[in-house]
Amino acid sequence: MTFQPPEQHRIKSISWLRAAVLGANDGIVSTASLIVGVASANVSHDNILLTGVAGLVSGAMSMATGEYVSVSSQADTEQATLAEESVELKTDSKGEHQELTAIYMHRGLDYTLAKQVADKLMVHDALGAHAKDELGISDLSIARPLQAALASACSFSVGAVLPLVVTALVPETWLIEGVVSVALVSLAILGGLAAKAGAAKIFPGVLRVTLWSALAMFVTAIVGTLFGGI
């Protein structure tokens, strides 16, 4: 009997896709909004550029720290839960076997087949079987703090570079218009690519990200204008 390789489904890319899109989106929106807000206060071009660079560095570090702390907490919870499950397997193997059998019966298998499946999996990898089928912990969802922190910081930085490049190249008289235009176009493309990669509808994804991002830049522009007149 020949076995076909497992199918590749889009759901496997959701975790890293979410982190990458969120980081890049935040990088573009926060840095562009910061630049627009400061530029609206009529400060010098050098100060605007310096503010944008500071926003990139602080934002990337904030994203990395927040993601690391959050995912580390998830990892700690997963490890503690697996440790508890390992103890239960050693102290009450029969009960855990019955629990696994009940899980498979609940999914539609009859008792005989469910017991056979539980028998095989308990011998092959008891903790792995309970982790996946009882606790919902798998290789697809397992927490990886350092990977998550690095991905968030890098994706944020990549996004934040776009409005910074515009700030450095565009004349000061067109700075706000240039930053806003490039930011919104980039965000629309990013939202469309994310929706396509996730097999979702493209237009709603593009509309959501552009509308909320435009609102963020509009609000910061108002704040900058108000404080610039003081």
Q: How confident is the model at residue 98 (pLDDT cuts 50, 70, 90)?
A: confident
- Note the pLDDT of residue 48: 92
Tell whether 124 is covered by a domain. Answer: yes
Rounded to whole angstroms, the Cα distance separating 93 from 74 reads 27
180 pLDDT tier (thresholds 50, 70, 90): very high
- Band (pLDDT 50/70/90 cuts) for residue 33 is very high
Q: Give the pLDDT of residue 123.
A: 73
Q: Report the C-alpha gap between 137 and 134 in whole angstroms.
A: 8
In a domain, 42, yes or no: yes
Model confidence band, residue 226 (pLDDT cutoffs 50, 70, 90)? confident
Q: Which residue has the higher pLDDT, 17 or 67?
A: 67
**Mean pLDDT of all residues in the chain?**
80
d(CA 84, CA 72): 18
Tell me how far CA of residue 86 lies from CA of 57, 134, 181, 223, in angstroms.
42, 13, 55, 56
Residue 127: burial class (beta carbons within 10 Å; 0-12, 13-18, 19+): middle
Q: Is residue 139 part of a domain?
A: yes
* pLDDT at 166 (0 to 100): 94
Alpha helices per DSSP H over the chain: 14-40, 45-91, 93-106, 111-133, 145-169, 175-197, 202-228
CB-based contact 119:101 (threshold 8 Å): no
- Whether pLDDT at 31 is above 90: yes
pLDDT band at 230 (very low <50, low <70, confident <90, very high): low
- Residue range 144-179, pLDDT digits in tens: 778 888 888 899 999 999 999 999 999 888 999 999
pLDDT for the residue 162: 93
In a domain, 165, yes or no: yes
110: phi then psi, degrees, rounded to nearest 5 = -75, 170
What's CA 142's distance to the chain center, in Å? 14
- State the total domains in the chain: 1
Is residue 19 over pLDDT 80? no
Domain that holds residue 150: 15-228
Give the DSSP H/E element, type plus range, for residue 230. Answer: none
Distance CA 68, CA 206 (A): 28
Judge whether 141 lies within some domain: yes
* Residue 94 counted as domain residue: yes
Question: Could you tell me if 149 and 157 are in contact, meaning their C-beta atoms sit under 8 angstroms apart?
Answer: no
194 found inside a domain:
yes
End-to-end CA distance of the chain: 79
Q: Is the pLDDT of residue 114 over 70?
A: yes
Using left for φ > 0, alpha for ψ between -120 and 50, and beta otherwise, residue 108 falls in left
- With respect to residue 6, please indicate whether it lies within any of the assigned structural domains: no
155 vs 96, which has greater pLDDT? 155
Q: pLDDT, tens digit, for every residue of 116-129?
A: 877 777 777 777 77
